[in-house]
Amino acid sequence: MKHVFSVCLVIVALGVTAAAQTAAAGACEANGKPANLNFTFNDLNNRKIALSDFKGKVIILDFWATWCVPCKAEIPGFIDLQKKYAARGLQIIGLSVDDSLPTAKKYADAMKMNYPVLLAEGKEDILIAYDPIPSIPVSVVIGRDGKVCSKHVGIVSMDVFEKEIASLF
Q: How many CB atoms lie within 10 A of CB 124?
A: 11
Handedness of CA 144, 146, 149, 153 (dihedral sign): positive
Domains of the chain are 2-166 (3.40.30.10)
Q: How does residue 27 score in pLDDT terms, banded at 50, 70 and 90?
A: low
Which pLDDT tens digit goes with each residue over 90-112?
Answer: 999 999 999 999 999 999 999 99
**pTM of the predicted protein model:** 0.82
pLDDT tens track for 38-48:
999 999 999 99
